[in-house]
């Protein structure tokens, strides 16, 4: 069967792109082409912006209660199609079905929080700021917003933004990942089912040409970006150049510190899931295990044993614990880093390149890999590998562990495994990373909290999700009143 060519969603209609440029979308477990995604033209971006701009005044006047009701509807249709959404994620991305279900659940939670908009968007006031004069601060929607999103949470990341943006009364344009665009197609089919007015939500598929056209338009108010650090940094500067607000959530290299007093039986499964979940392709993935003092000896053996036992395969198989990585290019990059780690003098305890798959698989599979004797200056310790590769760094004490964390330019997440309240408190107080876990391997904030990030992991001030989202998607207007 010829794979279908994906369409854009503009002004309430599915429209074919006029661009002749198409990219193959592949199932990472089989390498089979499952769809073709257009690299849309700047004219198509202009149409989407125009549709969103035209829809804005009417949508803004729609009451927050009515806008919230659309969120309730959206939640319902997502619940009805829960398994289908999860299956599409597995097909385009490769993660295991349970992780995909988690992604759908987290997406729905954002819709649920955004449904609280009548209370989230209220302003504040103060009487008698001077005698007989009152002051009010009102929260108003600002216009057309857009997001540019990564492949690794293809359904959820746009949903970190879109529900809040439109609940606040803005109109919206999504530019999905061109590597994994299918779950956004299904999500927009669901948005179509809830009958939003045309132009309130739009989707334009493509690559940097689409992104540049969005950022260069005077009719776009702001950008939410999630992706790698070089692109995030570049787009943050470009947004500023064009007078737009931007929040750019970027790359990561996260440390998991294991203290001597950690309960290893509980910590090791959490570390496994942090490092090897989603085949390491998470911005919250643990990448470096920092073993403090003599915890190293028992920890090393337990990590290698647990990782060796992970079942790797097609994510649709419910018994599989780790799927493939997303593309051949990713696989080549990860293999390259394994070679680099050996050259740099790290000791390979478990080599994922030796993975034997049952049957002949053309998929992009690599097994869990563990290096030890990793030092912070090695490329495998510094760079975001974005694959199932763990590096173990040995340190003598807590202070050295914090130094290892701070030697990275990134500051997305960090975790500590300990039974000591003192170390947990020190960790929380001192560590410069936006999302911290204490005996938690993946410190993923729920929808009502900001998805944080610091240093080279975030460019901006207001993060996705939570109260930050409401601040980002509104203007504050101050009205000072005196009546004679
Ligand atoms: P990526 O930076 O390659 O792509 C992200 C998006 O940017 C895509 O939609 C892509 O089309 C667009 N893009 C790429 N190059 C561009 C350019 N030159 N100009 C304009 N747009 C461009 O990222 P990816 O490989 O899809 O995703 C993985 C990255 O995302 C990792 O670094 C990961 O850590 C990061 N990530 C961060 C978070 C977070 O919240 N901090 C969450 C998820 C993923």
Task: Determine if ligand 1 sits within 6 Å of the CB of residue 151.
Answer: yes
* Cα 460-465-467 angle, rounded to 5 deg: 85
Q: Where are the alpha helices (DSSP H) in 357-476?
A: 379-382, 398-406, 421-430, 466-472
Domain range annotation of the chain: 8-250+457-482, 254-438
Q: Report the atom number in ligand 1 closest to the C-alpha of 176.
A: 9
Going from the Cα of 456 to the center of ligand 1, the distance in angstroms, rounded, reads 13
Task: Determine if ligand 1 sits within 6 Å of the CB of residue 177.
Answer: yes
Coarse DSSP helix, strand, coil percentages of the chain, rounded to the nearest 5 percent = 40, 25, 35
DSSP 430: H
Cα–chain center distance at 47: 27
3-class SS of residue 434: coil
| Residues with Cβ within 8 Å of residue 450, at least 6 apart in sequence | 462, 463, 464, 465, 466, 467, 468, 469
Going from the Cα of 148 to the center of ligand 1, the distance in angstroms, rounded, reads 8
Going from the Cα of 151 to the center of ligand 1, the distance in angstroms, rounded, reads 7
Residue 360: what pLDDT?
67
Going from the Cα of 229 to the center of ligand 1, the distance in angstroms, rounded, reads 8
Task: Determine if ligand 1 sits within 6 Å of the CB of residue 25.
Answer: no
Going from the Cα of 146 to the center of ligand 1, the distance in angstroms, rounded, reads 15
Residue 359: what pLDDT?
75
Task: Determine if ligand 1 sits within 6 Å of the CB of residue 250.
Answer: yes
Residue 333: what pLDDT?
98
The fourth-level CATH superfamily of domain 254-438 is Aldehyde Dehydrogenase; Chain A, domain 2 (3.40.309.10)
Task: Determine if ligand 1 sits within 6 Å of the CB of residue 247.
Answer: no
Going from the Cα of 459 to the center of ligand 1, the distance in angstroms, rounded, reads 13
**How far is it, in rounded angstroms, from Cα 167 to Cα 470?**
9
Q: Report the atom number in ligand 1 closest to the C-alpha of 177.
A: 9
Q: Please confirm, yes or no, whether 137 is among the known catalytic residues.
A: no
Task: Determine if ligand 1 sits within 6 Å of the CB of residue 435.
Answer: no
Task: Determine if ligand 1 sits within 6 Å of the CB of residue 468.
Answer: no
Q: How do the pLDDT tens digits run along the chain, 484 residues long? A: 789 999 999 999 999 999 999 999 999 999 999 999 999 999 999 999 999 999 999 999 999 999 999 999 999 999 999 999 999 999 999 999 999 999 999 999 999 999 999 999 999 999 999 999 999 999 999 999 999 999 999 999 999 999 999 999 999 999 999 999 999 999 999 999 999 999 999 999 999 999 999 999 999 999 999 999 999 999 999 999 999 999 999 999 999 999 999 999 999 999 999 999 999 999 999 999 999 999 999 999 999 999 999 999 999 999 999 999 999 999 999 999 999 999 999 999 999 999 998 776 899 999 999 999 999 999 999 999 999 999 999 999 999 999 999 999 999 999 999 999 999 999 999 999 999 999 999 999 999 999 999 999 999 999 999 999 999 999 999 999 999 9
Going from the Cα of 231 to the center of ligand 1, the distance in angstroms, rounded, reads 7
425 token code pair: 């408190």
Domains 8-250+457-482 and 254-438 share a fold: no
Q: By C-alpha distance, which of 128, 126, 152 is closest to 137?
A: 126
Q: Which residues of 250-285 are buried (b: 16+ CB within 10 A; e: fewer)?
A: bbbbbbbbbbbebeeeebbebbbbbbbbbbbbbbbb
**How far is it, in rounded angstroms, from Cα 345 to Cα 351?**
15
Residue 372: what pLDDT?
98
3-class SS of residue 437: strand
Task: Determine if ligand 1 sits within 6 Å of the CB of residue 283.
Answer: yes
Q: By C-alpha distance, which of 162, 158, 214, 209 is closest to 182?
A: 158
Task: Determine if ligand 1 sits within 6 Å of the CB of residue 152.
Answer: yes
Q: CA distances (Å), 156 to each of 108, 183, 184, 323, 339, in order?
A: 9, 9, 9, 19, 33
Q: CA distances (Å), 41 to each of 21, 24, 38, 173, 397, in order?
A: 9, 17, 9, 15, 55
Q: Which of 147, 180, 248, 283 is catalytic?
A: 283
Task: Determine if ligand 1 sits within 6 Å of the CB of residue 412.
Answer: yes
Burial class (CB in 10 A: 0-12, 13-18, 19+), 132: exposed
Residue 358: what pLDDT?
79
Q: Report the atom number in ligand 1 closest to the C-alpha of 151.
A: 26
Name the residue of 180, 228, 239 to mutate for ligand 1: max ligand atoms within 8 A of Cβ.
Answer: 228
**How far is it, in rounded angstroms, from Cα 266 to Cα 92?**
32
Atom 16 of ligand 1, nearest CA residue = 208
Residue with tokens 């740099």: 344
**How far is it, in rounded angstroms, from Cα 336 to Cα 366?**
12
Q: Report the atom number in ligand 1 closest to the C-alpha of 457.
A: 41
Question: Roughly how many angstroms between the first and final C-alpha of the chain, as a whole number?
Answer: 76
Residue 361: what pLDDT?
80
What torsion do the CA atoms of 191, 197, 200, 205 make, to the nearest 10 degrees? 50
CATH of domain 8-250+457-482: 3.40.605.10
Residue 348: in which H helix or E strand, if any? Answer: strand 347-350
Going from the Cα of 23 to the center of ligand 1, the distance in angstroms, rounded, reads 17
Task: Determine if ligand 1 sits within 6 Å of the CB of residue 207.
Answer: yes
**How far is it, in rounded angstroms, from Cα 338 to Cα 389?**
8
Task: Determine if ligand 1 sits within 6 Å of the CB of residue 149.
Answer: yes
Going from the Cα of 249 to the center of ligand 1, the distance in angstroms, rounded, reads 9
Name the residue of 231, 249, 254 to mutate for ligand 1: max ligand atoms within 8 A of Cβ.
Answer: 231
Q: Which residues of 97-128 are buried (b: 16+ CB within 10 A; e: fewer)?
A: bebbbbbbebbbbbbbbbbebeebbeeeeeee
Predicted TM-score (pTM) of the model is 0.98
Q: By C-alpha distance, which of 16, 49, 47, 39 is closest to 209?
A: 39
């Amino acid at each position: 069967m010829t794979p279908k060519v994906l369409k854009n969603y503009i002004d309430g209609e599915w429209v074919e792109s006029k661009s002749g440029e198409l990219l193959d979308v592949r199932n990472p477990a089989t390498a089979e082409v499952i769809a073709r995604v257009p690299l849309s033209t700047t004219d198509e971006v202009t149409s989407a912006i125009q549709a969103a701009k035209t829809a804005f005044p009417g949508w803004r006047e729609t009451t927050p209660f009515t806008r919230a009701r659309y969120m309730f509807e959206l939640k319902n249709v997502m619940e009805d199609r829960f398994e289908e959404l999860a299956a599409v994620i597995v097909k385009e991305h490769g993660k295991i079905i349970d992780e995909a279900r988690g992604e759908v659940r987290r997406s729905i939670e954002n819709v649920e929080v955004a449904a609280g908009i009548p209370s989230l968007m209220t302003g504040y006031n103060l009487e008698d700021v001077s005698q007989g004069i009152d002051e009010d601060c009102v929260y108003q929607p600002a216009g057309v917003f857009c997001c540019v999103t990564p492949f690794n949470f293809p359904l959820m990341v746009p949903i970190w933004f879109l529900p809040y943006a439109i609940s606040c009364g803005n109109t919206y344009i999504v530019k999905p990942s061109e590597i994994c665009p299918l779950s956004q197609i299904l999500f927009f089919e669901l948005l179509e089912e809830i009958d939003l007015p045309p132009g309130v939500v739009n989707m334009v598929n493509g690559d940097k040409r689409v992104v540049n056209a969005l950022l260069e338009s005077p009719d776009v108010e702001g950008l939410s970006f999630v992706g790698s650090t070089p692109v995030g940094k570049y787009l943050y500067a470009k947004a500023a150049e064009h007078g737009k607000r931007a929040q750019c959530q970027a790359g990561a290299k996260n440390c998991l510190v294991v203290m001597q007093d950690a309960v290893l039986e509980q910590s090791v499964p959490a570390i496994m899931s942090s490092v090897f979940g989603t085949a390491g392709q998470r911005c919250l993935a643990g990448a470096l295990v920092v073993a403090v003092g003599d915890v190293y000896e028992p920890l090393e053996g337990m990590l290698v044993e647990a990782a060796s036992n992970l079942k790797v395969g097609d994510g649709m198989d419910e018994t599989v614990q780790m799927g493939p990585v997303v593309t051949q290019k990713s696989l080549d990059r990860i293999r390259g880093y394994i070679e680099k780690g050996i050259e740099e003098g790290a000791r390979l305890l478990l080599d994922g390149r030796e993975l034997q798959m049952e049957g002949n698989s053309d998929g992009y599979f690599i097994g869990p890999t563990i290096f030890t004797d990793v030092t912070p200056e090695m490329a495998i310790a510094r760079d975001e590998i974005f694959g199932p590769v763990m590096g173990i760094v040995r340190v003598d004490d807590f202070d050295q562990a914090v130094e290892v964390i701070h030697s990275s330019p990134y500051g997305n997440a960090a975790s500590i495994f300990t039974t000591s309240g003192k170390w947990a408190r020190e960790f929380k107080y001192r560590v410069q990373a936006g999302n911290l876990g204490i005996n938690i391997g993946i410190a993923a904030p729920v929808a009502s909290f900001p998805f944080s990030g610091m240093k080279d992991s975030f460019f901006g001030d207001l993060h996705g999700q939570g109260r930050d989202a409401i601040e980002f998607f509104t203007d504050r207007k101050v009205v000072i009143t005196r009546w004679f």
